[in-house]
């Protein structure tokens, strides 16, 4: 009997699979490759919400765990995944500089915001007001991660490439069966695909569409990530990843002319050189109304679980939330009430 069936092989599914394998458990992942938000994600990790100058929820703990997680995972798939790269916030006024200094004085943000402004000149960018440097930042190559991890799973016969059929799941008291697979537990990690899941589609997963570019800009000489209204991430060979937009109404993964225009306009606010759009991607992020992940066990079935809602910070949240769910299942560790799906079940009981 398998220990875990995992539905979904994006950041959530990969994170849980790895945590389980590291603890000697057996897994089978089922995925039809229909969800692409993990594959096209920017992959940035940044402990500060720059728009509001506030610390990302549990950022310190997540940064510690993800460092070892992606290092070990990179060793396993024989490719580097974690690229520690400086993130600079471009300033457009003296007022923005002052806001930065005020934020860096906050105890929670002090470890993450440099108190020295950066006035380094980058060819292709005019920045008379300089930049603020965010510390302990970088990005994970999520496209490489998803591709190489699926390859690893296939090579070890741990991946079933098909659309999961929810009606084929038979739930017993102490195990579940799906077609010819029996497992002690099943973890649903389908991202926005959750809406087809009759066990958990009553949870408030909204989904936020994001569009990104790959641009070519030979005159842009940049070896750091610049972040303002969008981020610009250097990929090498004059290529840069740029994103992202936020659309709460459109739930398709098709690029739009509206998204294209928005990104072009924002790029022109940051850089002063010519650029060519090489690729245009779109995907729906699994986001939740209260900005916390969906983690926990079904209210009626003790062997049916969910790991979802990682939103825009999946590379940071994934390992930490996967570990929390694994410890909850295997060791009865109580989940943080902010991530436990019981928060929604309890509200319903109270009629809220």
Q: Which pLDDT tens digit goes with each residue over 83-134?
A: 999 999 999 999 999 999 999 999 999 999 999 999 999 999 999 999 999 9
User: Given this model, what pLDDT does residue 312 score?
Assistant: 87
User: Given this model, what pLDDT does residue 349 score?
Assistant: 63
Among 152-156, 299-303, 332-336, 345-349, which stretch is predicted with the lowest mean pLDDT? Answer: 345-349
**Residue 55, preceding peptide bond in cis (omega within 30° of 0):** no
Close Cβ partners of 16 (under 8 Å, ≥ 6 residues apart) = 4, 6, 187, 189, 307, 322, 325, 326
Residue 351 binned pLDDT confidence (cut-offs 50, 70, 90):
low
Q: How far apart are CA 334 and CA 313, in angstroms?
A: 23
| Residue 144 in this model has a pLDDT that exceeds 70 | yes
For 86-136+208-285, CATH number?
3.30.9.10
In our burial notation (b when 16+ CB lie closer than 10 A, e otherwise), range 268-284 reads eebbeeebeeeebbbbb
Return residue ranges of the chain for CATH 3.50.50.60. 2-43+143-204+289-349
The CATH number of 2-43+143-204+289-349, from 3.30.200.20, 3.40.50.11900, 3.50.50.60, 3.40.50.720, is 3.50.50.60
Return residue ranges of the chain for CATH 3.30.9.10. 86-136+208-285
What are the Cα distances from residue 40, in Å, to 135, 199, 200, 285, 300?
A: 24, 27, 25, 10, 35
- Average pLDDT in the 34-52 region? 86
| Residue 36 in this model has a pLDDT that exceeds 90 | no
Structure token digits, residue 5: 């069936």
User: Given this model, what pLDDT does residue 40 score?
Assistant: 80
Q: Which pLDDT tens digit goes with each residue over 182-224?
A: 999 999 999 999 999 999 999 999 899 999 999 999 999 999 9
What are the Cα distances from residue 214, in Å, to 20, 149, 162, 236?
A: 34, 23, 30, 11
Mean confidence (pLDDT) of the chain: 94
């Amino acid at each position: 009997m398998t220990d875990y069936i995992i539905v979904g092989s994006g950041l959530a599914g990969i994170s849980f699979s790895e945590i389980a394998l590291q603890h000697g458990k057996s897994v089978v992942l089922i995925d039809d490759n229909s969800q692409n938000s993990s594959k096209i994600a920017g992959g940035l990790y940044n402990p500060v919400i720059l728009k509001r100058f506030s610390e990302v929820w549990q950022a310190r703990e997540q940064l510690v765990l993800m460092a070892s997680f992606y290092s070990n995972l990179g060793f396993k798939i024989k490719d580097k995944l974690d690229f520690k790269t400086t993130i600079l916030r471009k300033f457009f006024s003296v007022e923005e500089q002052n806001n930065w200094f005020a934020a860096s004085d906050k105890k929670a943000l002090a470890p993450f915001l440099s108190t020295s402004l950066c006035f380094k000149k980058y060819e292709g960018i005019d920045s008379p007001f300089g930049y603020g440097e965010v510390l302990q930042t970088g990005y994970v190559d999520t496209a490489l991660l998803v591709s190489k991890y699926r390859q690893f799973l296939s090579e070890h016969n741990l991946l079933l490439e098909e659309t999961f059929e929810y009606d084929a799941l038979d739930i017993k008291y102490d195990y579940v069966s799906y077609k010819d697979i029996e497992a002690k537990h099943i973890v649903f990690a389908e991202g926005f695909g959750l809406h087809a899941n009759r066990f958990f589609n009553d949870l408030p997963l909204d989904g936020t569409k994001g569009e990104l570019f790959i641009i070519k800009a030979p005159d842009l000489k940049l070896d750091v990530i610049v972040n303002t209204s969008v981020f610009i991430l250097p990929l090498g060979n004059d290529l840069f990843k740029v994103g992202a937009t936020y659309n709460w109404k459109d739930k398709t993964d098709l690029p739009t002319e509206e998204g294209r225009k928005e990104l072009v306009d924002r790029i022109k606010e940051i850089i002063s050189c010519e650029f060519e759009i090489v690729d245009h991607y779109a995907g729906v992020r699994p986001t939740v109304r209260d900005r916390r992940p969906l983690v926990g066990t079904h209210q009626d079935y003790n062997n049916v679980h969910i790991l979802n809602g990682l939103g825009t910070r999946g590379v940071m949240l994934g390992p930490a939330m996967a570990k929390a769910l694994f410890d909850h299942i295997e060791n009865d560790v109580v989940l943080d009430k902010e991530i436990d799906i019981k928060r929604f079940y309890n509200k319903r009981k109270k009629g809220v």
